[in-house]
Structure 1
Amino acid sequence: MHLQQIDRWPNTLRDETATLRQEIAAHLQRHTGNRTNIVTPFRGVMMAELHEPTPPMSYIYEPSLSLIIQGEKRVSFGDTLYTYNESRFFLTAVNLPTVAEVPYASAEAPFMSLLLQLNLPLAREVIADMEQHGNRINRQNTGMSLGAADCALLHAVLRYLANQDSPHNSSYVSDLIQREILYRILTSEAGSVFRETVLTGTSSQRVSIAINWLRENYEQPLKVEALAQLAGMGVSTLHHHFRRMTTMSPLQFQKQLRLHEARRLLIAEPVDASSAAIRVGYESVTQFHREYKRMFGATPMRDKEQLLAGIGNLAIAIR
């Protein structure tokens, strides 16, 4: 498995970034209530506070910026493991199935994170403005990447939250700050793939069309030729760019979507493994059991038992 490791800030920057994170944490905890909680206080923003570790949980990241305010998180996608903390942001450019885990959290040292959904139409405007003024956007290859959560980005996020929490909240000001946040992302080492994905006509944007179709129709039989036609690409071209962005083929991607959805069904609904397999599109329950165990390390029902036992208070928070 490939590893994307966390970085730590140099001593000269720790004090300023720590102060900014403390101010962001104050906004966050006003909404979480200083307890294990996952909330969406306003549109496009999700806040999480956890007082205990979480087991590896299936999660589909939409185009978003994820910031850890305190703690550490592990996100696995395909054969790549991203481990990051408050010094790095986690950028997702397309809808991708992952397994996410919070290895350390307690009431004394809670895990706190902030996820901002990215406004793609606004991002196109920012990219156009940047190109007009000759700004450079760095190169990156995959649909997920890490970037430095530096003071400039944290300042922008803090101002965005302060505006949202203000009784005189201005949507005009929010849009301006969102533009700055997008600018900070695009000029980071993680910005290139995001740019390619949101611009119409690029190979990444065409692959994102295929990815979105698969996410919405994962239970349907997959015909790669039809998927390539939908994306406006040849089959071999689709395979090449799809693997570049997701590290897997369209068929492997569909299988991951099916298994993640089956896992969600097993936890959230009173269904058995066979019913979950059929609902997500498997024709062979035996094959489903085999692939589920290979991916999650346990049979479906055993995995369900372990997850429900390990989630604890988090299950209450999610509901």
Structure 2
Amino acid sequence: MEINLVSDTVTKPSPEMLRYMFQAQVGDDVYKQDPTVIALENMVAQIFGMEAALFFPSGTMANQTAIKLHTQPGEQLIADKYAHVYNYEGGGASFNSGVSCCLLDGHRGMITAEQVAGAVNNPEFYHSPLTSLVCVENTTNKGGGACYDFEEFKRIKEVCVENNLKFHMDGARIWNALVHKQENPNEYGKVFDTISVCLSKGLGAPIGSLLVSDKATIKRALRIRKILGGGMRQVGYLAAAGIYALQNNVNRLVDDHRRAREIGAVLAQLPWVEKVEPVETNILIFSLKKGFDENLLVEKLKQKNIFISSLGPGKLRIVTHLDYKEVMHNYVLEALQKLK
């Protein structure tokens, strides 16, 4: 029994999801003639109280499209230093949009309205790049699955309005945040200009993200997706997986969150663990005491068929997900407690 806790992207479609996919009605989505894709786009737009959505093969492409929509070459976006759009999208912001990133030192990947206001360049000072966009991530990946306080989003939005900035959310794990905070996704649609949402992490679909916004913005996004090579043909089979995931796999995220908290509680009691970051959702980050080698720990767990990630010297990550079952969970808790 292999237990992969490296990421929540390792899940495979369940037999029920596969059956739903095989039964999908499909068409050519490049011509916007795939009924299942259209149904998914309408469903996600409605969830967030926005006018339209567009299906993408990846969250990276959805985020990069949003950046391209809201900026011009030579301009600058504001984000946390841990932001996925900066760290894990291959330098796409500079390559695709020609923009630089003003990185803020937030708390666990989360920035404040005060920080944003202090980072906006004076638009009259032409020696500095023009600030045009603020990007936030919810939940935060490198921040250990932390969730923003929604009131902070409102405060950041006020700064954006005052300074004529666009506001984008990388919602790769927004479903985890919505379940944990018991929030109404419609409220997000009132605050953000664009939101990217992922189906292939906590929800267990094999592929797919969507960008959500108003109709005019999504019409422009369609052209950018084409330029980036994101046009797909009979992609309704994949969109069907997203529909199934939204109908069946959102509420069960509480199980992932509980298991992550229980692993964190066990780790906090172990003599070789220095610190466990607060666990809110399904990502757990912990650090080892001096003298302990994170690579050795990874190897010892691998020998027990448990796979986790190293984040660098003394720091490790565990991510719970749909395919991590209770029997696996009990085995992991026991294995950690016995580890010497």
TM-score using structure 1 length: 0.28
Higher percent of residues as helix: 1
Question: Highest relative contact order (Cα 8 Å, sep 6+), 1 or 2?
Answer: 2
